[in-house]
Structure 1
Amino acid sequence: MNRRHILSNTKITSKGNTAWLFKMAWRDAKASKVRLLLFMASIILGIAAVVSIQLFSENLKDNIQRQSKALMGADFIIDSEQIPNERAQAIIDSLKPDASEVNFVSMINFPKNGGTKLVVVRGLEGGFPFYGTIDTQPVSAASTYQEEGGALVDATLLLQFDIKPGDSIKIGEITLPISGALKAIPGSTAISSSVAPPIVIPYRYIEKTNLLQFGSRKEYQFFYKAPTVDLAKLEKDLQPSLEEENADLDTHTSTSQRLGKRYENVGKFLNLAAFIALLLGCVGIASSVNIYIKEKLKAIAVLKCLGATRKQSFFIFLIQISGIGIVGGLIGTAIGAGIQELFPYILKEFLPFDVDIQITAQPLIMGVLLGFFMSVLFALLPLLRTWYVSPLEVLRIGEVASEKPKKATIVVFIVILLFLFSFSFWLLKDALFALTFVLGILVTFAILTGISILSMKLVRRYFPKRAGFTVRQSLLNLFRPNNQTVVLIVAIGLGTFLVSTLYFTKDILLSKTSVGETSATANLITLDVQKDQLTDIVKTFETNDLELINNIPLVTMRMHSIKGVLVNTLRTDSTSQVRRWLLNHEFRTTYRDSLLASEELVAGEWTPSQSAKDPIKISISDNIASDANLTVGDPVVFNVQGVLMETTVGSIRKVDWGQLQLNFSVVFPKGVLENAPQFNVLTTNVPTAERSAALQRDLVSKFPNVTIIDLRQMYTIIEDIIDKVSWIINFMAFFSIVTGIIVLIGSVRNSKYQRIKESVLLRTLGAKNSQILKISALEYLFLGMIGSLVGILLALVSSLLLALFVFKEPFVPSIIPFIVFLPGISALVLGIGLSNIRSVLSSSPLEVLRKEV
């Protein structure tokens, strides 16, 4: 602090003068602006990350609630995967549906140019939608296509195949005129439309297409407009009855809740990244203020000699830190409000609606308050030292072991932990996860502190007395008074730990997103192949010089009883541990004699084949075993097209559902289902897009009921989605890494004021510039390497725990933190450390001392 300002200030005896406290805080801040700007940068980046994500989350939640009716197009829907039975139809009719639909996946053909495409056909009748609109070009097509008997075709699909309204489209065995281009319709999302674009036709033409055959996947929906109905009560009263009849009721309110949960995982990672950025800011605050206050102890002692009370000296720096926190919070909040405008553009492919961005007050107020509380809370521990500075310290040489405020320190530490837990719980919405995260930070802090103290003791005990002057001097700096070992190793280690944890977590999230395609794998799948079509389709493959890779039989069935308890009984049993979806699910099962590459046996023994007369041993996936509470040896009875089949769980498989191939929850051995009603799935590998298009035209013209999925298109769509997800994750990781680097720069940069006097004295005593450089280089290199290495190793452990218990994914550690972060952070610390003594080397000792004073 500038002593001329202190001595010239005549109001120091006015102990209650608040204006004097603010003036002193301002004067000292101006004299230390470089250090305080780096301190403020830590606050700004942490606040910006939190505010931007919170603003976007609130906007997303508000948009979902506001647009839930428009997303569904109705107040509630009753749907069924089969033609409703008599009882279900009676419930549907009693509520008087205002519109209805049947939808299914199929291939279509454009007669104009022979183009074919996998689409979702939606047969509509009635005034759907009741909320929102069918957006078409021309606009009139949305209201006239029913009367004209035309089709509304996805606009992107028309552009892709150079088709215009007025041309025709062949759906199954009928050809319809195209009334207009379909831009948007309730019930379709950007991702689903990319895979299978929607085609809307009048309901009356569905039967004429002749596409709904045995095994066809279809959905019947009945739409209701009932704005005054109590939807919660309706769902409670009707859902159990509908579930018994394999039907389901869905309200627009439950849809909005489901949508919110769908994007919850994206929000969780973003919140985690924001929390880490905030923690890095807290680390920067604590380390910077600790070093900063340490340098001010002499000035505080001078103040007390001139009559200032301990309360006044404490409040001067508290006002200073609080002001920086508020200013940093304001700047960070403003930056965060600007950043959140980017999120709708980044995430638009994942959202079924446009997000209307509005700036709400809560996150903005929270950002400013957070900046204030962060700066004050994490500065309190070092600030408490000002309270116990003795005026006699002006006369003492070296560092004085001032009285340590143990009770106050414990209270502040508890308050900091409560703040971290409360904020992480509010941000992550999971008490256990928040507690674990805070405990993890606490353990990491304790380990880093322990390693710092242990390093000092080891260096002191095994000090190399015969080493050269520069080596001895740099090692002495690690444990003698005024050392910065603990502060810097903790700051560097904790910063590296948080950044590396985020990097490893990013790798865990992205590890399952790689899509591989080789000539040995199938890239074209033919679905819904009827038994009488099988031979002809195989011949079509052979005619096109294509090899049949797989011929997979599919048999549809439902569970009739589980461990001797009827499914109908389980539906009404509120204490049952069986997940509800299993009770209504139509399983598509297969039979084969071997495991696939995507499967791993985790319990029981695989049964390749058996006689139909023997007890049937099936293999189920681990998720079915968990959801149905089944183990090896448990009985399950299936209803196979009206025939009851008793089975026993013979084995449980772990299935990699992330692979783009046909995987099954239930697999039968060979020799059991061969005579059951079934259809087939055929796969092949088509080398080029042109040959794939030719094959699809050939198959669709001969077998209009067959559905063809070109995985080449799926690869492109999925890779595009993966790129966007990767961009978001990498952006937030980079954001936190930048925060961490700035924190480290601030911590190391502020530490220079502890080495200025030592370096000046060494130079005064005749030390050469090269010797001073070597002393500083060795000290900072040691601190940088120890801190970053321990931080990365701790991040490795924490990421392994996250992978096992949170993400439930295998963890393959990346080598990047070891080959980039370890040398990079060590070099960064070394570079900043050497720049700290630049003024000592380029100026006379007296000039340096005058400047620093």
Structure 2
Amino acid sequence: MAWRDARASRVRLMLFMASIILGIAAVVSIQLFRDNLKDNIQNQSKALMGADFLIDINETPNARAQAIIDSLSPVAKEVNFVSMIAFPKNGGTKLVRIRGLEGAFPIYGKIKTAPEQAASTYQGLGGALVDATLMLQYNIKAGDSIKVGKLTLPILGALNGLPGSSAISASVAPPVVIPYQFIDDTELLQFGSRKEYQFYYKATPQTDLEQLEAEINPLLNAENADIDTHSSTSRRLGRRYDNMGKFLNLVAFIALLLGCVGIASSVHIYIKEKLKHIAVLKCLGASRKQSFLIYLIQIAGIGLIGGIIGSLVSIGVQESFPYFFKAFLPFDVTISISTQPLLMGVLLGFLMAVLFALLALLNTWYVSPLEALRVTESNGLKRTKSAKITVFSVIILFLFLFSYWLLRDIKYALAFVVGMLITFSILAGIATLSMKMIKAWFPKSWGYTARQSLLNLFRPNNQTLVLIVAIGLGTFLISTLYFTKDILLSKTAVGNSGKAANIILLDVQKEQTNDVSKTITEHGLELVDNIPLVTMRIQSIKGMVSHEAKADTTVHIRRWVFNHEFRTTYRDSLISSETILEGTWTPAVSLGGVIPISISENLAKDAQLNIGDKVEFNIQGVIMETVVGSIRSVDWGRMQLNFSVVFPKGVLEKAPQFYVLTTNVPDNVGSAQLQRVLVAKYPSVTIIDLRQVYTIIEDILDKVAWIINFMALFSIITGIIVLIGSVRNTKHQRIRENALLRTLGAKNIQILEISGLEYFLLGLIGSLVGVVLALVSAFLLGLYLFKEPFVPSVIPFLIFLPTISFLTLGIGLINMRDVLRISPLEVLRREA
């Protein structure tokens, strides 16, 4: 009986299934990709690092550190740093990451070059490997030369892949590989230069890497060095991309929930139409259980088939994920199919369909045989109330358990379910309020077609609630994306005023400062900043040195505080990105006594420092005693020079230091000319063009936005499917109503106007509520999460609002074609 009845309603049931298929495809494809990502990270962890383990240090190793490094017999070594390079062929300049390599690196994996042999010959031939994209940008080919500091080398090949690098990092500072032996000849590593030494090792089969890390790390930490194994790198990468997977899973889960809302509402209308049939079946002797199971089997079958098809579709969808995420991954993802997510998809489709349909299916249990004879409907709603509360509670519990399975965190799972309930409640509340307001303030003076359209919004069998919820949720997701993207972009915005610095010159030595300043002014530019930098490390905090702080379990100072090499400055005033939170700002002091310093809020938190606490700094071997005089709030999101530690004037003027100079260049041509001259005269000076950095960041955010848009597309398409299904389900009710209207003399154009205005209003209310909710959500995100002023984008108002409104109108009118094709007499005979 279930099969026979389903055949007669196959079009509507297919629409129910479509929403399940999309939701399952989204969830399962992401779950498959996440499993593949974990497997690839584990399988390629050695190739990602290029070794079994490495030791890295951010300064030239001292004798004790070098002894530890040599005792483990490194296979290869590297020094890498950011610097400017030039192409003599065309005078082009670029900020790159220089990687000086020596030995058999990588031990695992390989350097991908064109030609292929360049990867194995560049050290012996004394040439350079240059990022392939960079060579294309500057029209450089193998055989041309590259100038690195004072050294000019031939380019032996284009670099297409290097262990540990991704497209994102390469877009900021493309890699250039040169032999380690030539690093000193470049003369780029001078006082204050940021650099990183890495030593690569191959472990024996008997080596226990975790034990090695536990034994060696304390010794290395004492020398400001660190050991990193491929297994620890694998775990760290896994956690990083696991968070991305959780976020995408939630987006897909929302698409699935949206489909389930469509199932619940559509099944409600579907079952309501079948109540007369069920009453007839009961007159013929069918039991409650039989009539209930007929439609339960139908819905369960839809969920099962939808889960199977959705799982199969997910296999194709996940094949596209490596292409979407390749810019964010430092390795190639090999796709394989695991059975657990596929089985989960089938089970999920079955459970979600049954659970969300049960609310409507309960009505079949209490249908009386007399319903076949009654004109009005009375389906025992009071008797189903307690059962529906039970089913609703089971649904909430299921959603919580499923979100916990995705997030692995009770608090986040609870917050997600509560947030989802609040969002649905607001949408449902606004839909209900809209119906009541229209009913209370009904415009009786309006024309006939307008009045009929408004009446349809609150008459029996109306679709106001489900359509506003479905349309509103889809619009809410995509609008929040655009609003949030605007907030993120505003944090990276570069000022366009005449005084805002957009060129930063780093690592300017003291003796170069006057000449570099003169070069800037000779180009007709203004020197905006000339900031001194002094490098130092924290020797002790409140009288405790590093190993004492680690041994004391009552002290919770973060590890980086003692290991970090601070670049500090001295000045007599605050800058625009700073605000004093505690204490008093000291502009200047005279030598002698304890020196008051100002520290950033994050350093105070991580170092467990308060006003009046003593801190000792090691400045090139000289110990300086200081006391925390003030704690500052620093806006690190601004593209300007900010510091964790600021000294007053009168203390560090004679300490070894280098400088950072900034200026404002009005256009790209002027920027290129200035960089060309500075790189030629001062190759050790690093130049950062903030406009290029801004462009790179915007490109990264665009990629992120595109991925989120792609995932939100599941929700939008699911919403459209739900919309089509919901509108189509009203067709049978509309056939009877419009047949009566046509019998009373209504014309087809009037019926189209009535239905058109109804669906347009539903689309308008739903999309408007979605955009407004997204506006509030983005405002709260900007206020509490990003701590940035929120300026809303006009795109959701200009594009989403009218597009979704007219889409709803179009779907409604398409479905009305069948209504208008059937003659009133045929409908009335069928009713008789």
Structure 1 position 600, deviation (Å) = 4.3
Counterpart amino acid of 1:719?
A: E
DSSP-derived class of the 1:349 partner? helix
Q: Distance in 2 between matches of 1:291 and 1:559?
A: 70
Percent identical across equivalent pairs? 67
Structure 1 position 815, deviation (Å) = 5.5
CA offsets 1:741-784 (integer angstroms, 9 cap, x no match):
32233223313434443444455456666776676567666666
1:548 to 527, 532, 544: 527
Counterpart amino acid of 2:635?
A: D
Which residue does 2:330 correspond to in 1?
A: 352
The reply to whether residue 748 of structure 1 matches residue 748 of structure 2 is no
2:363 touches 2:379 (CA, 8 Å); kept in 1? no
1:578 to 557, 560, 574: 557
DSSP-derived class of the 1:108 partner? strand
The reply to whether residue 661 of structure 1 matches residue 640 of structure 2 is yes
Q: Distance in 2 between matches of 1:601 and 1:729?
A: 38
Structure 1 position 113, deviation (Å) = 4.7
1:305 to 280, 283, 294: 283
Which residue does 1:370 correspond to in 2?
A: 348
Which residue does 1:559 correspond to in 2?
A: 538
Structure 1 position 654, deviation (Å) = 3.5
Structure 1 position 624, deviation (Å) = 2.1
Which residue does 2:40 correspond to in 1?
A: 63
Structure 1 position 65, deviation (Å) = 1.6
471-480 vs 259-268, greater mean Cα deviation: 471-480
1:508 touches 1:809 (CA, 8 Å); kept in 2? no
Q: Distance in 1 between matches of 2:208 and 2:773?
A: 53
2:486 touches 2:793 (CA, 8 Å); kept in 1? no
Q: Distance in 2 between matches of 1:742 and 1:377?
A: 20
TM-score by length of 1: 0.88
Structure 1 position 25, deviation (Å) = 2.1
Which residue does 1:208 correspond to in 2?
A: 185
Structure 1 position 561, deviation (Å) = 2.6
Counterpart amino acid of 1:251?
A: T
Structure 1 position 35, deviation (Å) = 2.0
> Is the alpha carbon distance of 1:474 and 1:122 closer, same or farther for their aligned partners in structure 2, counting shifts above 3 Å?
closer
> Is the alpha carbon distance of 1:770 and 1:152 closer, same or farther for their aligned partners in structure 2, counting shifts above 3 Å?
closer
2:81 to 100, 104, 113: 104
DSSP-derived class of the 2:328 partner? coil
Structure 1 position 297, deviation (Å) = 0.5
The reply to whether residue 423 of structure 1 matches residue 422 of structure 2 is no
1:589 touches 1:664 (CA, 8 Å); kept in 2? yes
DSSP-derived class of the 2:327 partner? coil
Structure 1 position 434, deviation (Å) = 1.9
The reply to whether residue 392 of structure 1 matches residue 370 of structure 2 is yes
Which residue does 1:153 correspond to in 2?
A: 130
Structure 1 position 849, deviation (Å) = 4.3
Q: Distance in 1 between matches of 2:178 and 2:457?
A: 79
The reply to whether residue 432 of structure 1 matches residue 401 of structure 2 is no
Structure 1 position 390, deviation (Å) = 0.9
> Is the alpha carbon distance of 1:316 and 1:358 closer, same or farther for their aligned partners in structure 2, counting shifts above 3 Å?
same
Counterpart amino acid of 1:673?
A: L
DSSP-derived class of the 2:625 partner? strand
Which residue does 1:19 correspond to in 2?
A: none
CA offsets 1:429-459 (integer angstroms, 9 cap, x no match):
4332221121222234445555566666677
DSSP-derived class of the 2:618 partner? strand
470-479 vs 440-449, greater mean Cα deviation: 470-479
DSSP-derived class of the 2:44 partner? helix
> Is the alpha carbon distance of 1:91 and 1:575 closer, same or farther for their aligned partners in structure 2, counting shifts above 3 Å?
farther
CA offsets 1:214-237 (integer angstroms, 9 cap, x no match):
111111211110042211222222
Q: Distance in 2 between matches of 1:604 and 1:504?
A: 39
> Is the alpha carbon distance of 1:470 and 1:147 closer, same or farther for their aligned partners in structure 2, counting shifts above 3 Å?
closer
> Is the alpha carbon distance of 1:511 and 1:734 closer, same or farther for their aligned partners in structure 2, counting shifts above 3 Å?
farther
Structure 1 position 400, deviation (Å) = 0.9
1:496 to 472, 475, 481: 472
Structure 2: tracts of 5 or more residues without a match: none
Structure 1 position 193, deviation (Å) = 2.7
> Is the alpha carbon distance of 1:731 and 1:441 closer, same or farther for their aligned partners in structure 2, counting shifts above 3 Å?
same
1:788 touches 1:821 (CA, 8 Å); kept in 2? yes
1:628 to 607, 629, 638: 607
2:108 to 131, 138, 142: 131
Structure 1 position 674, deviation (Å) = 1.8
> Is the alpha carbon distance of 1:451 and 1:516 closer, same or farther for their aligned partners in structure 2, counting shifts above 3 Å?
closer
Counterpart amino acid of 1:366?
A: M
2:487 to 497, 511, 515: 511
> Is the alpha carbon distance of 1:711 and 1:772 closer, same or farther for their aligned partners in structure 2, counting shifts above 3 Å?
closer
Q: Distance in 1 between matches of 2:801 and 2:124?
A: 70
Structure 1 position 396, deviation (Å) = 0.9
1:424 touches 1:434 (CA, 8 Å); kept in 2? yes
The reply to whether residue 261 of structure 1 matches residue 239 of structure 2 is yes
Structure 1 position 734, deviation (Å) = 3.5
2:431 touches 2:469 (CA, 8 Å); kept in 1? no
> Is the alpha carbon distance of 1:394 and 1:350 closer, same or farther for their aligned partners in structure 2, counting shifts above 3 Å?
same
Structure 1 position 496, deviation (Å) = 0.6
1:287 touches 1:491 (CA, 8 Å); kept in 2? no
Counterpart amino acid of 1:342?
A: S
The reply to whether residue 241 of structure 1 matches residue 222 of structure 2 is no
Which residue does 2:25 correspond to in 1?
A: 48
Structure 1 position 279, deviation (Å) = 1.3
1:319 to 283, 294, 297: 297
CA offsets 1:173-227 (integer angstroms, 9 cap, x no match):
3444444443333233323333333333333333333322211111121111004
Q: How many residues align?
A: 827
> Is the alpha carbon distance of 1:200 and 1:499 closer, same or farther for their aligned partners in structure 2, counting shifts above 3 Å?
same
What is the 5 A alignment of 1:787-798?
790=769, 792-798=771-777
CA offsets 1:520-556 (integer angstroms, 9 cap, x no match):
3333322111111111222222333333222111111
> Is the alpha carbon distance of 1:524 and 1:501 closer, same or farther for their aligned partners in structure 2, counting shifts above 3 Å?
same
Counterpart amino acid of 1:663?
A: N
1:445 touches 1:494 (CA, 8 Å); kept in 2? no
DSSP-derived class of the 1:682 partner? strand
TM-score by length of 2: 0.90
Structure 1 position 795, deviation (Å) = 4.7
Q: Distance in 1 between matches of 2:345 and 2:817?
A: 37
Which residue does 1:3 correspond to in 2?
A: none
CA offsets 1:279-331 (integer angstroms, 9 cap, x no match):
11111111111111111100111111112222221121122112222332233
1:294 to 259, 272, 279: 272
> Is the alpha carbon distance of 1:808 and 1:380 closer, same or farther for their aligned partners in structure 2, counting shifts above 3 Å?
farther
> Is the alpha carbon distance of 1:515 and 1:58 closer, same or farther for their aligned partners in structure 2, counting shifts above 3 Å?
farther
2:760 touches 2:809 (CA, 8 Å); kept in 1? yes
The reply to whether residue 335 of structure 1 matches residue 292 of structure 2 is no
1:425 touches 1:434 (CA, 8 Å); kept in 2? yes
Counterpart amino acid of 1:210?
A: E
CA offsets 1:695-731 (integer angstroms, 9 cap, x no match):
3343333333222233444344333323322222223
Q: Distance in 2 between matches of 1:836 and 1:703?
A: 72
709-718 vs 819-828, greater mean Cα deviation: 819-828
The reply to whether residue 638 of structure 1 matches residue 590 of structure 2 is no
DSSP-derived class of the 1:596 partner? coil
2:481 touches 2:708 (CA, 8 Å); kept in 1? no
Q: Distance in 2 between matches of 1:204 and 1:135?
A: 22
DSSP-derived class of the 1:145 partner? helix
2:149 to 172, 182, 186: 172
CA offsets 1:394-416 (integer angstroms, 9 cap, x no match):
01111114253344323322221
